[in-house]
A = this chain, B = another copy of it.
Amino acid sequence: MNRHPYHHGNLRAVLLAEAERTLRDQGIDQLSLRDLARHAGVSHAAPRRHFADRQALLDALAEAGYQRLDDQLHAAIDIAGDDHRTRLRAVAAAYIRFATHDAALLELMYAVKSGPHSAALDAASGRLLTTFDNEVREAQQAGTLLPGDPGRVRLLILAIVQGIAGLITTGSIDARLADELIADAAELFTHGPR
Point out residues on A near B: beta carbons under 8 Å: 110-111, 113-114, 146, 148, 152, 155-156, 158-164, 166-167, 169-173, 177, 180-181, 184-185, 188-189, 192-194
Contacts and interface: CB of A to CB of B under 8 A. Distances in A.
A181 B193 contact: no
Assembly stoichiometry (copies): 2
A156 B169 contact: no
Nearest to A113: B170
Given A159-B164, A163-B163, A181-B155, A110 B146 contact: no
A191 to B, nearest CB: 8
Contact of A146 (B158, B161, B189, B193): B193
A52 B148 CA distance: 53
7 contacts: A155-B167, A156-B160, A156-B188, A159-B164, A162-B163, A166-B166, A188-B193
A65 to B, nearest CB: 14
Given A181-B156, A193-B189, A193-B192, A166 B169 contact: no
Given A152-B180, A155-B172, 17 more contacts: A110-B166, A114-B169, A146-B193, A148-B184, A152-B184, A155-B173, A159-B160, A159-B163, A159-B164, A159-B167, A159-B185, A160-B160, A162-B166, A188-B188, A188-B189, A188-B193, A192-B194
